[in-house]
């Protein structure tokens, strides 16, 4: 499903607003010392992030039918995201992207993709403990990893426990990818 001229125009306006909001928000967060992680690695082209986009939403959007309907309709009509399910605990909508071609692992509307797609995986760096898909070539590295890693090494932990903590706390450059 390729985007037509009207949908492209609407997506450009939405992208401008998204980019403005994101710029202001990140400027404020940087003033507060965020993000605590830096992005390392590169895209492997696996396409897993495009197969099932997940969008966290606020409690009112998740709970109130009218706001929920507006959000889901916007993503279906404008972004081409078909609602597949939700994570009630984390208030996340899970979609299937109609622009993603699993055979070629490409987006048929890449130049008019939504802001959330353009910002991935940088948006994960602002979470408490960023989690990337197992196939993803990107990873987060805690900016103050060296000092914390040295403290953990001095704690005389069993090697397997130390390795587990280094991975979970994003304190090593290249976590083991299995």
Q: What is the pTM of this model?
A: 0.77
pLDDT 10s digit of each residue in the chain, 178 long?
788 899 999 999 999 999 999 999 999 999 998 899 999 999 999 999 999 999 999 999 999 999 999 999 999 999 999 999 999 999 999 999 999 999 999 999 999 999 999 999 999 998 888 988 888 999 999 988 888 888 888 888 899 998 888 888 888 776 444 4
Say if residue 119 is exposed, middle or buried (CB neighbours under 10 Å; 0-12, 13-18, 19+): middle
């Amino acid at each position: 499903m390729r985007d037509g001229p009207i949908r492209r125009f609407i997506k450009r306006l939405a992208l401008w607003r998204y980019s403005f909001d994101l710029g202001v928000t990140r400027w404020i967060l940087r003033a507060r010392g965020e993000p605590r992680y830096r992005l390392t690695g590169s895209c492997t082209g696996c396409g897993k992030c495009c197969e099932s986009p997940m969008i966290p939403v606020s409690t009112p959007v998740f709970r109130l039918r009218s706001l929920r309907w507006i959000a889901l309709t916007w993503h279906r009509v404008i972004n081409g995201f078909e609602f597949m399910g939700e994570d009630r605990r984390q208030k996340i909508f899970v979609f299937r992207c109609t622009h993603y071609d699993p055979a070629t692992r490409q987006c048929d509307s890449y130049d008019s993709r939504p802001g959330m797609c353009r910002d991935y995986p940088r948006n994960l760096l602002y979470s408490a403990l960023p989690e990337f898909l197992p196939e993803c070539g990107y990873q987060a590295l805690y900016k103050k990893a060296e000092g914390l890693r040295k403290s953990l090494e001095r704690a005389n932990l069993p090697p397997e426990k130390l390795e587990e903590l280094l991975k979970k706390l994003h304190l090593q450059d290249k976590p083991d990818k299995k």
